[in-house]
Amino acid sequence: MSRLYIDLTTSIRWRRPPVGIVRVEREFAAYCLAHEADTVFCEIDSSGEYRALTPTRVREVLDDSWCQSAAPQDAVPAPIASPLTQRGRVQRIADWAAAWGPKIVPAAAYPLLRDLGRVLVDHHGAFVRNRAAKRAVRARLVSAQGGAAAHATPTTAALANTSIAPTAADTFFSIGLQWHHGAIHAYNLKRATGVRVVEFCHDTIPIDLPEYSGSAKQPFAEYFTCLAHTADLIAANSDSSRNNLHAFYQRVGILQEPTLRTVRLASPKVHLAAESQVLRDDEREILEQVSRRKGHVLYVSTFEIRKNHRLLLHLWKEFYVQRGNDCPVLVLVGMFGWGVSDLWAEMQASDVFAAGKIVILHHVSDALLASLYSSCLFTVFPSFYEGWGLAANESLAYGKLVITSDAPALSEATQGLGPAIHPLDYPRWRETIAYYIDDDNARATAEARIRATYVPRHWDEFSRDLLGAARELS
């Protein structure tokens, strides 16, 4: 490989604590910045072209402070800021209608109006994507006529003379939220330069389980089809994700698949006891609140329908009725996602939530998250389906037992070191969680087994494996 090119668009546009996919791009980029001297980092500009970034800009983006939120850490039951602040105007209107429709529209008419609203939102999304594509074409025409500087944004103007120029001997990595930014850009780059392209499959959930992804099935089908005609290598985070992608390509009739390779994700290098002095005063107060009495059980995940928070809500309702103040706190860490308006309303109205036995935290710093992991009784991960399950793997890295669903990728991520239960098997979840809450010796035995047999995998290893897979292309 003559030179590496890495698209940092996802990291540049993500200014809050990173979710799993964002962390993958950031960790890989940080490794290449430190160990691959000729790496060129770039972003997609407003015209759809890739522009090189200065070393100073790259270091700024990859510094931890880039993802630190200025918002205070909230220990709910105080009201949470709306999760809709970053959504488009049409989507916000649809969300408002979904919340208030049943109250102001006759019950018989509401299902029809709801479905009509979903169609309108889908068509509006298609219109926005089409408009953006047309604007990109017009911008290229203006640039070709020598007038780009007058129409460029400040960022584009600053990078006007540094568009990337890879060759067929180089390799271009595009491993972030590319379905959001547009897979067509890497396709155009490959057509123009012949550069080898490495993409990443984080999961195929919108295609295989569309009921958990809103209206994302068609855009993701288009995205993965575009990848089939762009990528020389598609790395997948698990055998499960790789097999699902292969099955999709077989169903839609892709005649020549790109190379598919499993490159499993990693966990952070951690200390089993987090240093409490690195916490801010408000973070230390949160930690003290959730750790009182019987301690806390932790679930780190986006708050969305696929993650099966409803199971935990009903379990904790039951635990609170049975145990009262001796019920441990359920700590949910993660940003709001899709399809949880009803669940959120139910949770806020519940006695267990009012008693502070369920706490939701978002915009959590790495220091607070490390402290929550290291001081918890154990963690849970009852998701219906995962591409990998980074938080389940992180739990083991902190030496903590994790009780997961029996989703195939979670078994890969946890190396079989914890109970795996069907996500709808309520009695067994209740029995298993209660057992590990009450039996200190059982938890100690599980943690001893993790310390003895868990094989940690760090981001340096992930990065070397991804680079190795890419270099095999040549």
pLDDT in tens, 314-336: 999 999 999 999 999 999 999 88
If one compares 463 and 214, the residue with the highest pLDDT of the two is 463
Residue with tokens 């190795």: 468
DSSP structural state of residue 428:
H
Residue 365's pLDDT is 84
Class of domain 276-456: alpha beta
E strands along 141-219, which residues? 171-174, 196-201
What pLDDT, in 10s, does the model give residues 111-146?
A: 555 555 655 655 555 556 556 655 654 555 455 455
200, pLDDT greater than 70 = yes
CB 333, CB 298: distance < 8 Å? yes
Work out the average pLDDT over 52-63: 94
CA distance 203 to 207: 9
- Encode 17-44: b = buried (16+ Cβ within 10 Å), e = exposed: bbbbbbbbbbbbbbbbbeeeeebbbbbb
Nearest to 465 by CA among 266, 224, 194, 253: 266
**Do the two domains 4-53+159-266+461-471 and 276-456 of this chain adopt the same fold?**
yes
Residue 109's pLDDT is 57
If one compares 365 and 427, the residue with the highest pLDDT of the two is 427
Residue 367's pLDDT is 86
Residue 79's pLDDT is 33
98, pLDDT greater than 70 = no
Q: Which of 226-230, 282-286, 300-304 has the lowest mean pLDDT?
A: 282-286
CA distance 133 to 179: 14
- The sign one gets for the Cα dihedral 207, 425, 264, 19 is positive
70, pLDDT greater than 60 = no
The mean pLDDT of the chain is 84
Phi/psi of residue 42, each to 5°?
-150, 170
Residue 54's pLDDT is 92
The H or E element that residue 333 is part of is: strand 329-333
CA distance 202 to 24: 10
Fold of 4-53+159-266+461-471: Rossmann fold (3.40.50)
CB 355, CB 320: distance < 8 Å? yes
Residue 174 makes CB contacts below 8 A (sequence gap 6+) with 7, 183, 186, 197, 198, 199, 200
Q: What are the structural domain ranges in the chain?
A: 4-53+159-266+461-471, 86-150, 276-456
pLDDT band at 156 (very low <50, low <70, confident <90, very high): very low
Q: Which two tokens stand for residue 109?
A: 């008419």
pLDDT band at 161 (very low <50, low <70, confident <90, very high): very low
Residue 125's pLDDT is 56
Q: Is 399 left (phi over 0), alpha (psi -120 to 50) or beta?
A: left
Residue 267's pLDDT is 84
Work out the average pLDDT over 214-223: 90
Residue 2's pLDDT is 82
Work out the average pLDDT over 290-313: 92
